[in-house]
Structure 1
């Protein structure tokens, strides 16, 4: 194990986690808490961000491995929230909101993958 990589993940993860918390709080205030808007926004923007980083690493940026790990595993890993996504989907289902749960799950996955593809395509044309 490389201590530099572990530190990169730890620092990036802290930054990503704080960002996730702030976005979730802001979305809750802006849109209410009856639907997990914050996590939906986080999953889509996190997927876009990791797609952009991956595309930039492949085509534009020649960065050290520790920096790549910091940005993807650290920041993006701390920021994206598919574990929380699963919990929110469960709570919607548990409350009997099956249509909202289905829409939430489908929308999260489809938009997150689309955001990643869009970011990678955007980087390719830059």
Structure 2
């Protein structure tokens, strides 16, 4: 198998796993948030997925810096495939737009600022956990 197809397979495998986990985590979190009546209509599931994905991406990048022996295929599988599929910018954008269309401008602001700040903090936390300072 050529290196090109090995890379494609690594991204595809990581994407499949990340997408399934994203669906499971997002659905479970959203269900709990609705059950607790925590600011109904707010996309808690997507926020949790994106923040935990940012933490994981920061941790993986930090580990890849510290452990230079990681193969290109493993980095493609974990970072591009898994993290890329697990996190979801498209859902974030659509849900933020839906909040705006419903007139929930506080929700729009909270989702925009909360996602941006928490995801940046998550990447920093992940890299810090890996022992790599920015």
TM bucket (normalised to shorter chain) is: over 0.9
Aligned CA RMSD, in angstroms, stands at 1.3
1:57 to 48, 59, 64: 64
Correspondence 1:96 to 2:76: no
2:14 to 12, 15, 22: 12
Structure 1 segments unaligned to the other structure (5+ residues) = none
Structure 2 segments unaligned to the other structure (5+ residues) = 35-39
Q: Look up the match of 1:23.
A: 25
Q: Look up the match of 1:41.
A: 48
Q: Give the length in aligned residue pairs.
A: 125
**Deviation sequence 1:62-90 (CA, Å, 0-9, x none):** 11100110000010011000111011000
| TM-score relative to the length of structure 2 | 0.89
Correspondence 1:113 to 2:120: yes
**Structure 1 residue 24: Cα displacement:** 1.1
Instruction: Kindly indicate which of the two structures has a greater share of residues assigned to helix.
Output: 1
- Cα distance in 2, alignment partners of residues 118 and 61 from structure 1: 20
| TM-score relative to the length of structure 1 | 0.95
- Cα distance in 1, alignment partners of residues 14 and 130 from structure 2: 22
- Cα distance in 2, alignment partners of residues 108 and 121 from structure 1: 19
Give the ranges of 4+ consecutive aligned residues of structure 1 lying more than 2 Å apart after TM superposition: none
